[in-house]
Structure 1
């Protein structure tokens, strides 16, 4: 049953809410949704009007059961965390409030709020799991490549030595191609294995000294057209870590950002920001820390292409032509060796890499 005009006007204020609101009739059909509900469900009310909860979600029976309880006035309101599955889309992790109303036409109101903390934890878990898979893949792949690569290079060298003098000049070009490409692949394999071979050199780290070192390197390479801003919290304490690893991790991120700012550097309005803060009560890899370094590296570039945003920490994935796709993989590895994690949010005009590292 559609909502009457007078009642619809009374509901206009719900469009101002940040949480999604759905009104259901006694048959469980959706007869009202506010603007936040349309945004959350990524659809207009016209498309899902008169549908039931089981039509909206693959596991909508969870909400349907709660709806039935509300209809029978088994409670006034019920709060519950749910994961709502959708066809062809990411699941919704939501805080759900179901309220029984004393209105025959619309007896049940459902409020949905995205569980931001849970989403963050899920994303961190995915990043850490992904990094572990990357490490195993890299180790196994690199060792599988190294052995035959040495044989190929050695065979090419022996072939070159065995060539008759009259053929050496014209065929040496080909043997040299084999040798040089084998050397290039060997260098790539060494770079893949480097972070897993290197022992940490632990000492006291001042994160602002690290940022200033990276800043000086970026300024030296991009002396004009790029403004580097510093927004530091100087109260951040020193912590134990490998200074060189952290310099390399932050440099990899900042250098990628500077390269992505190429067009803005030409225009003279490129910006790169280093921001440090202290985050409190942070969970990283399912471990709760009282304090953590919260370092942001922000640029005003074109953003990371949407098709690779979920894969940017994979090895050999690059959004830049000619890029090796190893910089962010190594950065994530180095930060995780400090019990931390790197996250990324990107859109046109703002890419924000966030590094979280526990503090003492």
Structure 2
């Protein structure tokens, strides 16, 4: 590698690397980018070479410091976790950065950008799985503690109502007790729902989405638009159809309620290849995205959005997304979100092939 001749055979090996590699001059001018860099940055080689390194990203002091330090000391400089925001798409990239001077005479350095996004997704999924397991036990125990005395409360209210037959003006109070007990019973049933046995079979995801779309448009026929963006070539899922309907319906209803019934929702299906879900590698998976143009998820609940009883609405129960997460995890999948004002996207990943032995998740027996 001579530094100035980019056609030198010494560069041929860089073309084969999966790691994005750039070669820059000390003034930041780009002189080489391998195909992995083109993929990471979303630009072709010709376009990349028209820019300086700092032009590719929004101003980042750590990046400039890394380049300056490597050239000043003629030694490698490493940043283990650096967030770079591309100037073209404004999308953040989490990378491990290394800058290595390769030619002192030509003042050139080799830059490696190793993406950390996949590692971060795996770490976040592990964290969510542990959180889900803790939530499941908490909900189950709490629901039983609530459920046990409810029967006694309702029974006592009925007996009291019988004793008050000659005092009809007091029946109003016993009726309130019974109705509130029923409301609590309904809430408990919803909390216990993920632990009940589910029935699996072949499911067309687009039938699920069309069902949810019909329900939503029937409830909000005026100012709601639900667009379809389907990959109709997707294979069948092996899943519980009713649970998948509930997953999508809970997410869609949250979006509609956040938009106060006026806005746009996009239902998008794609195939994902070579994906790790619930610690297992799958050749093919469903990538279902539910996108809305609402106000976004409040910052103060983002970190614990899937926790039970967490809601951004005064009238909400905070169980919709908790149940959606539980059902998705029972199917060996994952659920995550990205939100900003004007666009919120929930992404549900589900494996297309699932062993019969895993059809009923551990702990999913009837209560």
Calculate the TM-score normalised by the size of structure 2: 0.70
Q: Determine if the alignment matches structure 1 residue 35 to structure 2 residue 59.
A: yes
Q: CA deviation at 1:184?
A: 1.3
Evaluate the alpha carbon distance shift between residue 340 and residue 164 of structure 1 in structure 2; reply closer, same or farther with a 3 A threshold.
Answer: closer
1:142 corresponds to:
143
Q: CA deviation at 1:337?
A: 1.5
The whole-number CA distance in structure 2 between the counterparts of 1:154 and 1:131 is 35
Q: Determine if the alignment matches structure 1 residue 289 to structure 2 residue 282.
A: yes
Q: CA deviation at 1:132?
A: 1.1
Q: CA deviation at 1:232?
A: 0.9
1:71-120 per-position Cα deviation (integer Å, ceiling 9, x unaligned): 7x8xx64879x479xxxxxxx975242536898xxxx9997766111111
Alignment size in residue pairs: 292
2:171 corresponds to:
172
1:226 corresponds to:
224
Q: Determine if the alignment matches structure 1 residue 16 to structure 2 residue 29.
A: no
2:22 corresponds to:
none
Evaluate the alpha carbon distance shift between residue 333 and residue 102 of structure 1 in structure 2; reply closer, same or farther with a 3 A threshold.
Answer: same
1:125 corresponds to:
126
Q: CA deviation at 1:305?
A: 0.8
- After the TM superposition, which residues 196-235 of structure 1 pair with which residues of structure 2 at under 5 Å, given as runs? 196-197=195-196, 199-235=197-233
Between stretches 180-189 and 271-280, larger displacement belongs to 180-189
Question: Tell me, what secondary structure is at the counterpart of 1:291?
Answer: strand
Q: CA deviation at 1:253?
A: 0.9
2:292 corresponds to:
299
The whole-number CA distance in structure 1 between the counterparts of 2:240 and 2:207 is 13
Question: Tell me, what secondary structure is at the counterpart of 1:35?
Answer: coil
Question: Tell me, what secondary structure is at the counterpart of 2:60?
Answer: helix
- After the TM superposition, which residues 110-121 of structure 1 pair with which residues of structure 2 at under 5 Å, given as runs? 115-121=116-122
1:42-62 per-position Cα deviation (integer Å, ceiling 9, x unaligned): xxx9xxx9xxx9xxxxxxxxx
Contact 1:17 1:36 in 2 (8 A): no
2:5 corresponds to:
none
1:139-197 per-position Cα deviation (integer Å, ceiling 9, x unaligned): 000111111222233333333444584xx334333333222222211111111112212
1:244 corresponds to:
242
Evaluate the alpha carbon distance shift between residue 101 and residue 238 of structure 1 in structure 2; reply closer, same or farther with a 3 A threshold.
Answer: closer
The whole-number CA distance in structure 2 between the counterparts of 1:217 and 1:176 is 32
Unaligned runs of 5+ in 2: 1-25, 30-51, 83-92, 354-367
1:281-323 per-position Cα deviation (integer Å, ceiling 9, x unaligned): 1111221111100010101111111111122211211112211
Unaligned runs of 5+ in 1: 1-8, 19-33, 54-66, 85-91
Question: Tell me, what secondary structure is at the counterpart of 1:262?
Answer: coil
Evaluate the alpha carbon distance shift between residue 286 and residue 93 of structure 1 in structure 2; reply closer, same or farther with a 3 A threshold.
Answer: farther
Between stretches 280-289 and 94-103, larger displacement belongs to 94-103
The whole-number CA distance in structure 1 between the counterparts of 2:230 and 2:103 is 54
The whole-number CA distance in structure 1 between the counterparts of 2:293 and 2:246 is 22
2:18 corresponds to:
none
- After the TM superposition, which residues 270-289 of structure 1 pair with which residues of structure 2 at under 5 Å, given as runs? 270-289=263-282
Calculate the TM-score normalised by the size of structure 1: 0.71
Task: Give the superposed CA RMSD.
Answer: 3.4
1:58 corresponds to:
none
Q: CA deviation at 1:135?
A: 0.8
2:185 corresponds to:
186
Question: Tell me, what secondary structure is at the counterpart of 1:353?
Answer: strand
Q: CA deviation at 1:137?
A: 0.6
2:345 corresponds to:
352
Q: CA deviation at 1:327?
A: 1.2
Contact 1:339 1:358 in 2 (8 A): yes
The whole-number CA distance in structure 2 between the counterparts of 1:123 and 1:217 is 32
Question: Tell me, what secondary structure is at the counterpart of 1:10?
Answer: coil
Question: Tell me, what secondary structure is at the counterpart of 2:338?
Answer: strand
The whole-number CA distance in structure 2 between the counterparts of 1:210 and 1:97 is 47
